[in-house]
Each structure stands twice: as structure tokens, then as C-alpha cells.
Amino acid sequence: MIHASLTQDPSGRLIAYRAKGHAGYAEEGFDIVCSAVSILGVNCVNSLEALLHILAQVDNNSEGHLSFRLPPHLNEEQQKGAQLLMQSLYIGLQAIAEEYPKNLRVTIVNV
């Protein structure tokens, strides 16, 4: 199972993402759940950079696990855009988890 979590700060902003584990839906290279989760996470990081010029602190290891954190000091426009992208990531992950509950768990972690 993939465990995906988004970290929320005390003001309710989503500030980080982490996904680890294996979906186990199909064999490696053919696992649509793993692919979907990976695409959503990588697209969020790429969109942060391309659209908002935000360089997230990314940790992407060789086993396909992905985590990233927003930088602490964003201007108001970047913060609004980043929250929209992070919420979109969460909505996409939730949709996958509803369809494949044995393969993906999504949580919000409060700090």
C-alpha cells in the first residue's frame, strides 16, 4: 500500500507532501495506482516551479518514494498558487484512494 500524507501547518496551509510504499495493484511497470500517485506528485512539483517559480525542497529516492516541502518564505501570490496546487494534489489523491482503498491511504498531518 502507498501511504501518502500532506502536512498542514497551524494556519491550515499545506506545506509538505510525502508518498512511500508500493501500491501492489499490479506488477512493477504496470501498476496504474503507483503511476497515478507518482504523476500527481511530480506534476505538483513541476507546476510549482513552472507556474509560480517556487523551488520545493524535493527528496526523490531510487525506490520511487517522493517527498517535498514548500520553502518557508513565499510571497502572497506564490502562497495562494501553492495552496491551490497542493489542494489539487490532495483532491487527486483522494479520488484515487476512494477508487483503490486497498492500494492507497491519504492522510493530513497537522504540525
Structural contact between residues 20 and 3, judged by C-beta atoms closer than 8 angstroms: yes
Structural contact between residues 68 and 75, judged by C-beta atoms closer than 8 angstroms: no
Which residues does 73 contact at the CB level (< 8 Å), separation at least 6?
none
Give the separation between CA 80 and CA 30, rounded to whole angstroms. 36
Which tens digits make up the pLDDT trace of 38-87?
999 999 999 999 999 999 999 977 677 899 999 999 999 999 999 999 99
- Above 80 in pLDDT, residue 89? yes
Nearest to 103 by CA among 17, 4, 12, 11: 4
Per-position b or e across 37-75, b if 16+ CB within 10 A of its CB: bbebbeebbebbeeebebebeeeeeeeebbbbebeeebe
Q: Which three cell numbers stand for residue 49?
A: 516551479
pLDDT confidence of 104, banded at 50, 70, 90? very high
Domains of the chain: 2-110 (3.30.70.1490)
